[in-house]
Amino acid sequence: MTRTVKPVLSCLLLFSFVLGIVYPAAVTGFARLAFAVKASGSMLAVGGERVGSSLIGQPFTSPEFFWGRPSATTPGAYNASASTASNLGPLNPALRDTIRARVEALRRADPDNKLPIPVDLVTASGSGLDPHISPAAAFYQVPRIAHLRGLHEEAVHRLVEEHIEGRWPWMFGEPRVNVLLLNLALKGVEKTAEE
């Protein structure tokens, strides 16, 4: 029995050390050298202060900012430790009520906007943490934001156009707009308009 147990324990200790310590340390070290920003969570900083990650949606609730997709995680917050979809089917009355409430909130925030509301402004993504919205969802919000911030719609519209990310590499995915990056740029436009 000792002849069987000794090699098994040796292999267990060796593989635990190599695969549990050496390999993760090597991969983490390589990632930090080759992709420093991405390996650190793609965190964005303004004036030396971290404002969020470009990979996780942020809860913008003020009508003066662009709103992202609703989150299916903790209501009103993008809780990365609780990434999940709502798991409500299209015939579920709770989903219909939730979407109806979101549509009413958008209509209350901008009663003059008669355009159809893009679906990604009233439905959560599969992860509940999506940092992007469609260009249509961003353009839908332009009149509200321009009015509340005292900016020309054309300037806000151009800002959205500048922040549209295309397909990668020219064929995968859909065009999208990162809400955090767009809102940070919006603050910059407002600052320029005030000067």
Per DSSP, the residues of the chain read: -HHHHHHHHHHHHHHHHIIIIIHHHHHHHHHHHHSHHHHTT-EEEETTEEEEETTS-----STTS---PPPSSSTTS--GGG-------TT-HHHHHHHHHHHHHHHHH-TT--SPPPGGGTS--SSS---EE-HHHHHHHHHHHHHHHT--HHHHHHHHHHTEE--BTTTBS--EEEHHHHHHHHHHHHHHHH-
Let me know whether 36 and 50 are in one domain. Answer: no
Let me know whether 19 and 49 are in one domain. Answer: no
- The whole domain housing 32 covers 1-40
Query: What integer best gives the mean pLDDT of the chain?
Result: 85
Judge whether residue 30 has pLDDT over 80: yes
Let me know whether 6 and 102 are in one domain. Answer: no
pTM of the predicted model as reported, rounded to 2 decimal places: 0.77
Q: What is the pLDDT of residues 107-137, one digit of tens each?
A: 999 999 999 999 999 988 777 788 899 999 9
Number of domains in the chain: 2
